[in-house]
Amino acid sequence: MADLELSSQTDAVIHSIYHGLLESPPWQQFLGELRALLDGNFATLLLRPPSVREQGVVLNSVVFSPGVYQAYNQTYFALDPFVNLPDGEVVTIAEFLATEDFQQSEYFRSYLQPSNVMHILGADLWCEEGLLARLRVTRPAGTDNFGDREKALCRQLLPHLRQAIQIHARLRDSETERSLYADTFDQLAVGIVTLDALGNVVSTNPVARRLIDSARGLILRQGCLKLESVHEQKAFKSLLSEVVSAHHQQLAGCVKAFRIAEVGQLQGLNLLLRPLPLSDRSGESAPAVAVFLSDPMAPRQATSDVLIALFGLTPAEARLAIRLVNGLSLDEAAISLGVSRNTAKSHLRAVFSKTGVTRQPQLIQLILNSVVTLAGE
Q: Give CATH 3.30.450.80 domain extents, the chain.
A: 2-171
Give the residue with greater pLDDT, 302 vs 99. 99
Tell me the C-alpha to C-alpha distance, in Å, between residue 259 and each of 121, 215, 240, 262, 294: 60, 15, 14, 9, 10
Instruction: Please give the pLDDT value at position 71.
Output: 66
Instruction: Please give the pLDDT value at position 208.
Output: 85
Q: Does the bond joining 25 to the residue before it have cis omega, within 30 degrees of 0?
A: yes
One DSSP character per residue, 174-195 reads HHHHHHHHHHHHHHTT-EEEEE
Sign of the alpha-carbon torsion through 139, 143, 146, 149: negative
The model's pTM is 0.49
Q: Give CATH 3.30.450.20 domain extents, the chain.
A: 188-298
Instruction: Please give the pLDDT value at position 370.
Output: 56
Residue 90 forms beta bridges with which residues? 123
Tell me how far apart the alpha carbons of residues 62 and 32 are, in angstroms, rounded to a whole number. Answer: 8
**Strand ranges inside 49-173, DSSP E:** 57-60, 90-92, 119-126, 132-139
Q: Give CATH 1.10.10.10 domain extents, the chain.
A: 301-377
CATH number of 301-377: 1.10.10.10
Phi, psi (rounded to 5 degrees) for 181: -55, -50
Give per-residue pLDDT as tens, 168-222: 776 665 554 555 455 545 545 567 888 888 889 988 888 888 888 888 888 888 8
The CATH architecture to which 2-171 belongs is 2-Layer Sandwich (3.30)
* C-alpha closest to that of 377 among 329, 331, 324, 310: 324
Give per-residue pLDDT as tens, 316-368: 888 898 888 766 788 888 888 888 999 999 899 888 888 777 888 778 767 76
Give the residue with greater pLDDT, 152 vs 373. 152
* C-alpha closest to that of 294 among 357, 359, 374, 176: 374
Q: To which CATH superfamily is domain 188-298 assigned?
A: PAS domain (3.30.450.20)
Q: What does DSSP say about strands 57-60 and 191-195: parallel, antiparallel, or unpaired?
A: unpaired
- By mean pLDDT, which of 99-103, 186-190, 307-311, 337-341 is the weakest? 186-190
Tell me how far apart the alpha carbons of residues 1 and 14 are, in angstroms, rounded to a whole number. Answer: 20
